[in-house]
Amino acid sequence: MKEETRSKEELLAEIEKLKHRLVDVQALQVQRRLIEEALREKEELMSAIVKGFDGYIYICSHDYIVTFMNENLVKRTGRDATGEKCYEVLHGRKSICPWCVNEKVFKGETAKWELLSPKDNRWFYIINTPIFDGEKVISKMSMFIDITERKRFEERLRENEEKFKKLFELAPFAVFLETIDGDIIDCNEEAAKMLGYTKEKLKEMNIKDLVSAKTAKMLPGLIEASLSFGGFSVEAENRDKNGREFPVKVDARILEINNEKTVFVLVQDITESKRAEEALIREKKLHTRGPVVVFRWFAKEDWPVEYVSNNVKQFGYSAEDFLKGRIKYADIVHPDDRERIEREVKQYSKKGVDKFEQEYRIFTADKTEKFLYDSTVIVRDRKGRITHYEGYVLDITDRKIAEKELRYNQERYKAIVEGQTELICRFLPDNTLTFVNEAYGRYFGKKCKDLIGKKFLPCVLSADRKMVLERLKSLSAESPIEFHEQRIKLPGGEVRWQHWTNRAILDDNGDIKEIQAVGRDITDRKIAEKEKEKLIEDLQYALAQVKTLRGLLPICSHCKKVRDDKGYWHQVEEYLKKYSEIAFSHGICPDCRKKLYPELAKRKSAEKKRRRK
């Protein structure tokens, strides 16, 4: 009843309050609509961001349950794995990943790292961030992108860097990295070795400190060339720690490193190549100034000349005579030798040899005959066809004349030596025979060729060998001749006496290189001397025993016995020995020797005839 009796004023006030509440509700509805629209816009924006993200996104709870996966991750996984464990979905594991950062993220921290997935061996860059509800972390959002190609590129880059580093350090020549102004940024060990400084010291230096004064003047122009053309290549001169200047080949290129222009320089010591060039120049001068004439002939008829060294003028011709075809090489070859030369060249060419040698005659411009030694190299193309002949020709006329005279003298010497009755031989210091004449061979009953290379000492009687060796050892530059007598044993067993004269032949150092010996048989003389000595002894003894014999001495006309004064008969030597001081020795007269020893008599007769000849 009270409500029914409320005053009009109260009702109006309440209505006014309701109006205000309605306005507040309407304002809240508008605000809610605005928030919903903003939220929808943010959701659309987030959806666009998620869809536009070229990677993978998932959200999981603190107990590893996946609550969201973006389309890319669904495609990679092959299914929408919402509600499954993250470690099973992402890596195919049965348990929590050992690298898991959930504990860290659910504490409110963000975690970033790179990971090689064991599922497909691909690399990923991962960012894990916490999702808050107020101040409480309710989920983890993980965003990751595939960086496998980047990692592979980085690996290749590291490999290339390692290769470059190895090339840099192991290069067989000096390598420098320099600023445009020439300050040395880095260098390899070969650079330090070449210049005599440590690497650390070189990094404190400028290239101007390491070149000759002549090269230092070139540097401004080289730097300008580098900036204009990106580099240069030049021969210069370096100077090492000891001040030695030496030639080098420098190759430089401009590189952009960390947005700065850097000069990459290769320096090669060309001292040896310069020496080789100088040697080549000297060799070329030898070809043009020396006695060897160099020809390059076409492999055609009459051997037209493509090249000839200027020293061909020693034969009276100019190089142009051959090069312009005024003279063909075949024209100067002696007619009697040309057919043989052509035949030999064809034979050598067919055999497939690379080079061959010939000797032949030519006529000089003034028609003088010359002997040539020709060493020819055959030049073939890739298919093996002969295109040229390269000949190195030497005038050997003087040698040929000397050889002819030598042969003449050798023949004369041989005729003299072989005509001797004396035994002539030559042998080395170790008594190995190098020559024997015919008389030597006949004496020992062997052919001369069978004796060459054999030692003569075994023929010497063993009792005399020591004496013979001592006599030979006595030979020297100061005393080059010695004489001795020795006994030898012939193949048949007969012992003979010999007299030898040995002369030492010395080399340029005064050492004995050979011994020449002349010997003769003195057996008969030795026998005669022995008989003579015996006869003298007998006579001396007889004289000592001689007595005076007088009167008639009866002697038997048949047996030659003598009768003494008592009527007894005695041998004549017995009688004389008894009654005088005569002593007898027995020899053999020529007639008896002929009768009793016919073989000995024949040999004596033959030797006398040989000596008369």
Q: What is the pLDDT of residues 304-330, one digit of tens each?
A: 999 998 889 999 999 999 999 898 899
Q: How many other CB atoms are found less than 10 A from the CB of residue 530?
A: 10
DSSP symbols for 45-100: HHHHHHHH-SSEEEEE-TTSBEEEE-HHHHHHHTS--TTSBHHHHHH--SS--TT-
Task: Tell which residue, 329, 551, 149, has the closest CA to residue 562.
Answer: 551
Dihedral sign computed on CA atoms, order 539, 541, 544, 546: negative
Helix (H) or strand (E) holding 469: helix 462-473
- Tell me the C-alpha distance between 78 and 58, whole Å: 14
Q: What share of the chain is helix, strand, coil (3-state, %, to 5)?
A: 45, 30, 30
DSSP code of residue 580: S
The predicted structure's pLDDT at residue 45: 61
Amino acid 318 reads S
User: What Rg do the C-alpha atoms of the chain give, in angstroms?
Assistant: 61
pLDDT of residue 39: 65
- Distances 583 to 355, 535, 603 between C-alpha atoms, Å: 87, 10, 32
> Looking at this protein, which amino acid is placed at residue 308?
V
What pLDDT, on the 0 to 100 scale, is given for residue 348?
93
Give dist(CA 583, CA 603) in Å, integer: 32
In the block, residue with structure tokens 């030694």: 373
Region of residue 352 (left: phi > 0; alpha: psi -120 to 50; beta: else) = left
pLDDT number for residue 611? 64
pLDDT at 226: 75
| Rama region for 384: left / alpha / beta (φ>0; ψ in -120 to 50; rest) | left
Q: How far is CA 207 from CA 177, 191, 221, 270, in A?
A: 11, 12, 14, 18
Say which residue the tokens 């007969």 belong to.
494
pLDDT at position 1? 41
Q: How far apart are the C-alpha atoms of 191 and 171, rounded to whole Å?
A: 10
Count helices and strands (H / E) in the chain. Answer: 20, 22
Show Cβ contacts of residue 408 under 8 Å, excluding neighbours closer than 6 positions.
none
Residue 433 near residue 426, CB atoms below 8 Å: yes
Sign of the CA dihedral 350, 355, 357, 363? Answer: positive
pTM: 0.35
Q: What is the pLDDT of residue 14?
A: 76
Which segments in the chain show pLDDT lower than 50?
1-2, 548
The pLDDT value recorded for residue 467 is 93
Q: What is the DSSP letter of 183?
A: B
Locate 142 and state its tokens. Answer: 């993980």
> CA 150 to CA 146: how far, in whole Å?
9
Q: Residue 280: what pLDDT?
A: 73
What six digits make up the tokens of 244? 């030695």
Q: What is the DSSP letter of 120?
A: T
Q: In which residue are the tokens 């040995």 written?
A: 502
Tokens of 189: 């060990």
